[in-house]
Homo-oligomer: A and B are copies of this chain.
Amino acid sequence: MPSVSPSLSAAMAQAATAVTETMECILPKSDFAEQKLFDAMRYSVLAGGKRLRPFLLLSTAQIYGVDEDCALRAAAALECVHCYSLVHDDLPAMDDSELRRGQPTTHIRFDEATAILAGDALLTIAFEILSDPRTHEDPKIRCALVASLARASGANGMVGGQMLDLIAEDTNFDIGAITRLQRMKTGELIACATEMGGLLGKASPQHLNALRAYAHDLGLAFQIIDDLLDAEGTAEETGKPVGRDEEAGKATFVTILGHDRARQQAKLLCEQATQHLSLFDGRAKNLEEVARFVVDRKA
């Protein structure tokens, strides 16, 4: 199996550092009595992670020569939404996870009420960031960014997918239902990453469609690999508890397709993802490489 190219890991690490620094700057601190809320917000986003969505956004924005500071602000907003979703997802009433990226989850490190509020505040600040003229000088673009993020993360996107994920524990979902679930739960926000990058660069509708199609294939592949890691990996490798899907008796790509066909399907999806990028004539190198990275990742 080929390993991730050194240039991609370097680019991803650089982007992760830049977006973390941007969030560090944007996220407010406080000396007031409510300091705990701000601490919990910062804890929830600054802990790390691959920063895949910011990387996709930044890589797409680069194709169009978008100002890097603007793209970083949009990427920070997107990552705030991703992180809030993890905080709420980990809550006792939801997935009840105590570990995330090898660290205590927000409600364990702080408490449940603080975790709920920190998630709410992270979701809210994302839209404050996007509506700010520093994110893009054109208010029409800023509105398009807000609309894109709200649609991707709301009831018809990520939150709807999380609802389906909870329902999946008690329902016998077939492969079609699981594909729809994952498309909503993780796919929409990944597609939003490339869409926001394109919107910042005033991409044509044709480009935006290609970017979305790429990201949806990539997102599905990403999820299949996630399921495989949950089924095959160890907590040390992945930084979070494993084997939880099987424990919950939950249908996943792996339980339905089996390990080999699931991995095959992920590879196929990544090849298909790359094909959507053909109209960029090689100017979307980072996005192409990410499609390879997704299949090979170990965590």
Residues of A within 8 A of B (CB): 28, 30, 32-34, 36-38, 41, 84, 88, 91, 93-94, 111-114, 116-117, 119-121, 123-125, 127-128, 130-133, 138-140, 142-144, 146-147, 149-151, 153-156, 159-164, 166-167, 171, 173, 177, 180
Contacts and interface: CB of A to CB of B under 8 A. Distances in A.
A159 to B, nearest CB: 4
A125 B155 contact: yes
B120 A147 contact: no
A167 B34 contact: yes
Contact of A163 (B84, B117, B180): B117
A33 to B, nearest CB: 6
Contacts of A32: 180
B167 A33 contact: yes
A176 to B, nearest CB: 11
A64 B183 CA distance: 44
Please give me the 6 A-B residue pairs with the lowest Cβ-Cβ distance, nearest first.
A128-B150, A93-B112, A124-B154, A131-B146, A121-B155, A139-B139
Contacts of A37: 155, 159-160, 163
A147 B132 contact: yes
A78 to B, nearest CB: 13
A163 B127 contact: no
Nearest to A37: B163
Given A117-B163, A121-B160, 10 more contacts: A30-B155, A91-B116, A93-B111, A93-B112, A117-B159, A124-B154, A127-B149, A128-B147, A131-B144, A131-B147
11 contacts: A34-B155, A34-B164, A36-B163, A37-B160, A41-B155, A91-B113, A116-B116, A120-B120, A121-B154, A124-B159, A139-B142
Contacts of A88: 116-117, 120
A202 to B, nearest CB: 14
B33 A171 contact: yes
A32 to B, nearest CB: 8
Given A93-B113, A112-B93, A164 B123 contact: no
A123 B125 contact: no
Contacts of A153: 124
A131 B159 contact: no
A156 to B, nearest CB: 7
A131 B140 CA distance: 9
B150 A139 contact: no
B164 A33 contact: yes
Nearest to A153: B124
